[in-house]
C-alpha cells in the first residue's frame, strides 16, 4: 500500500510543476483524474492527522484519569476449602490460613498487588457474595460520592489493624467495597 504522505507529495509536486509552467507561458492543466487522486491523497492525509490528534487527546485524557484497581476480592461461601482449592489449582496461587481480622478469610496475594480472600458467612443471614473492594486514596470522599450517587452505606469506613480501612455500600442491589491503605 502506498503511504498517503507519499501519494500526496507526488501529486503536490505535479501540481506545483503545472503552476511553474504557467509562469513560463506554457499552459498545462491537471485533468479531472489527477485532481481526484490529489484530493483523495489530501483527504487521507487530513484523516491521518485527525486520527493522530484524537489518539493524542485520548492519551492525555487517560494520563489524567486514575486507573481503577481491585485491591481485595472477597468471596463469601460456605465452601471455603473447596473454593480455595479450585482457585489455587486454576490460578497457581497459595492461600494462607484463616486471618481473624478479615472475618477468618483465607487470602492469597495476586501478582498485581491485590489480594483475594475466601471466607464463610459471618452471620446466618449473610448470603454468598463476590465483592470487589476498589482501592481509593480517600475513603471518606469515595463513600460520600457513592451516597450522592444513591448508594446506601452498609458498613461505614472501618479500620482493620495492619490491613487498612474498608467500607461497603449497596447500589442497585449490588454490594461494592472500598479500600484505603
Residues 96, 43 within the same domain: no
> What is the predicted pLDDT for the residue at 53?
47
Number of separate domains in the chain? 2
Residues 152, 98 within the same domain: yes
Residues 39, 127 within the same domain: no
> What is the predicted pLDDT for the residue at 63?
58
Residues 95, 155 within the same domain: yes
We report the CATH number of the domain holding residue 142 as 3.10.180.10
> What is the predicted pLDDT for the residue at 2?
47
**What is the DSSP track for the chain?**
---HHHHHHHHHHHHHHHHHHHHTT------HHHHHHHHHHHHHHHHHHHHHHHHHHHHHHHHHSPPP-EEEEEEE-S-HHHHHHHHHHHH-----SEEGGGTTEEEEE-TTS-EEEEE--SSTTPPPEEEEEEE-S-HHHHHHHHHHTT-EEEEEEEEETTTEEEEEEEETTEEEEEEE-
Residues 54, 91 within the same domain: no
Q: What is the pLDDT of residues 61-70, one digit of tens each?
A: 455 677 899 9
Domain of residue 129 covers: 70-180
Q: Which residues of the chain fall short of a pLDDT of 50?
A: 1-12, 15-16, 19-21, 36, 38-61
Residues 23, 75 within the same domain: no
Residues 55, 78 within the same domain: no
Q: What is the pLDDT of residues 112-136, one digit of tens each?
A: 899 999 999 999 999 999 999 999 9
Residues 95, 143 within the same domain: yes
Amino acid at each position: 500500500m502506498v503511504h498517503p504522505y507519499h501519494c500526496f507529495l507526488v501529486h503536490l509536486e505535479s501540481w506545483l510543476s503545472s503552476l511553474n509552467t504557467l509562469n513560463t507561458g506554457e499552459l498545462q492543466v491537471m485533468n479531472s483524474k489527477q485532481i481526484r487522486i490529489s484530493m483523495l491523497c489530501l483527504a487521507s492525509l487530513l484523516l491521518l492527522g485527525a486520527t493522530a490528534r484524537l489518539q493524542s487527546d485520548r492519551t492525555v485524557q487517560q494520563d489524567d484519569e486514575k486507573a481503577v484497581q481491585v485491591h481485595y476480592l472477597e468471596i463469601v461461601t460456605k465452601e471455603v476449602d473447596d473454593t480455595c482449592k479450585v482457585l489455587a489449582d486454576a490460578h497457581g496461587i497459595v492461600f494462607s490460613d484463616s486471618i481473624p481480622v478479615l472475618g477468618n478469610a483465607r487470602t492469597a496475594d495476586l501478582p498485581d498487588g491485590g489480594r483475594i480472600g475466601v471466607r464463610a458467612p459471618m452471620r446466618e443471614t449473610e448470603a454468598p457474595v463476590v465483592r470487589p473492594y476498589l482501592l481509593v486514596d480517600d475513603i471518606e470522599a469515595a463513600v460520600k460520592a457513592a451516597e450522592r450517587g444513591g448508594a446506601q452505606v452498609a458498613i461505614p469506613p472501618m479500620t482493620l489493624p495492619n490491613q487498612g480501612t474498608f467500607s461497603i455500600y449497596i447500589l442497585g442491589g449490588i454490594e461494592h467495597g472500598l479500600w484505603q491503605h
